Amino acid sequence: MAHTTRVLRSEWTKVRSVRSTLWTLLIAAVVTIGLSALICAFTASDFDSMAESEKAVFDATYVSFAGMSLGQLAMIAFGVLVVSNEYSTGMIRSSLSAVPQRGTFMFCKIFVATALVLVVGMATSFTTFFVGQQLLGDHGTTIGEPNVLRAVIGGGLYMTLIALFTMGVAFVLRSPMLAFGTLMPFFFIISGILGGVSATKKFAHYLPDQAGTMIMTVETGGGGEFGVGDRPYGPWGGLFIMALWVVASLVAGYLVLKKRDA
C-alpha cells in the first residue's frame, strides 16, 4: 500500500509539473463554456424562426453542451500527453525501472489523471449548463426538471470517459504523433462521416462519442440541428456503450504495456 501511495504521488508530480498538460484542461473548460454560450445565445435569438417540429423536441439541456464537441479536443490532448510524454522523452524507461509492476504503474497514472479530469469535467459541465440556460432565457430549463441533473452530471462523465479512452489508446500507440494522428480524425472526421451516411449511420450510433453524448440528452427522440435523433438505446445505454469502449482501450493498453519493452 505504501508503495502504491508513493507511485500515486509520483504520477501527480508528473502531471502538475508539465504545464502543457494542465493547460489542456483549462482550454477544454474555456472552449466548452465559451462556445456553448455562443451557440445558446444564437439559438435564443433564432428560436422563433425554428420549425414547429423542432420546437416540439427542443432540448435546452443538450443545446447548452453544444460546445463540448470542440472542447473534447483538449481532453483528447490531455489524455495523449499524460501517457505519451514519457515515451517521447524516454522517461518511461526510468518510470518502469522504478515501478516494475506495470499494472501498478498504469493504475496510478490512470487514477491520478481520471481524478483530475473528473473534477474539471464536472465543473465545466455545471458551469456550461447554468451559463447556457441564462442565455436561452425563456427557452431554457432548470436543474430541477426531470432528467436534467442526470444530463448535467453525464456531461462531466462524458468528458472523463473521453480522456480515459484516449489514455488507453495512447498506451497502445505510445507515440504522441501517432496517437493524435489516429484520434483526431476518428472523432472529428470519421465519426461524423459515418454518422451522416445512411448506410453506416446505424453502425456510427455505437461509436464511443456518438453513444456517449446520449447521457447529456433530455429529449432523446429529437432530431433537428442539435438533436441526436432516434437511437436504439437510452441515455444510460449510450453511456454503457461508451464505457465498454473505454474498458477495451484500457485493457489493450495494459496488454501492450505488459508485453512490450519501453
pLDDT, tens digit (0-9, with 9 covering 90-100), for 153-194: 999 999 999 999 999 999 999 888 999 999 988 888 888 888
Query: In this model, does residue 204 exceed pLDDT 80?
Result: yes
pTM: 0.91
What pLDDT does 224 receive?
39
Which tens digit of pLDDT belongs to each residue from 105-136?
A: 999 999 999 999 999 999 999 999 999 999 99
CA 181 – CA 175 distance, rounded (Å): 10
Question: Which residues, 6+ apart, have CB-to-CB distance to 15 below 8 Å?
Answer: 21, 22, 82, 112, 113, 116
> What pLDDT score does 121 carry?
96
Write out pLDDT tens, residues 218-254. Answer: 875 544 344 455 678 889 999 999 999 999 999 999 9
Q: Which residues contact 80 (CB under 8 A, 6 or more apart)?
A: 166, 167, 170, 176, 179, 180, 183
DSSP 3-state assignment of 133? helix
Q: How far apart are CA 214 and CA 34, in angstroms?
A: 22
CA distance 109 to 167: 10
Residue 1: the pLDDT is: 54
Tell me the chain's radius of gyration from C-alpha atoms: 19
Q: Which of 8, 187, 169 is nearest to 84 (CA)?
A: 169
Contacting residues for 13 by C-beta, under 8 A, at least 6 apart = none
From CA 38, how far away is CA 53, in angstroms rounded?
A: 23
CA dist 35 and 20 (Å) reads 22
Instruction: Assess contact for 71 and 158: CB atoms under 8 A.
Output: no
Contact at 8 Å (CB) between 154 and 240?
Answer: no
Distances (CA, A) of 198 to 192, 194, 204: 12, 8, 10
Q: What is the mean pLDDT of the chain?
A: 89
232 three-state secondary structure: coil
- Are 156 and 191 within 8 A, CB to CB? no
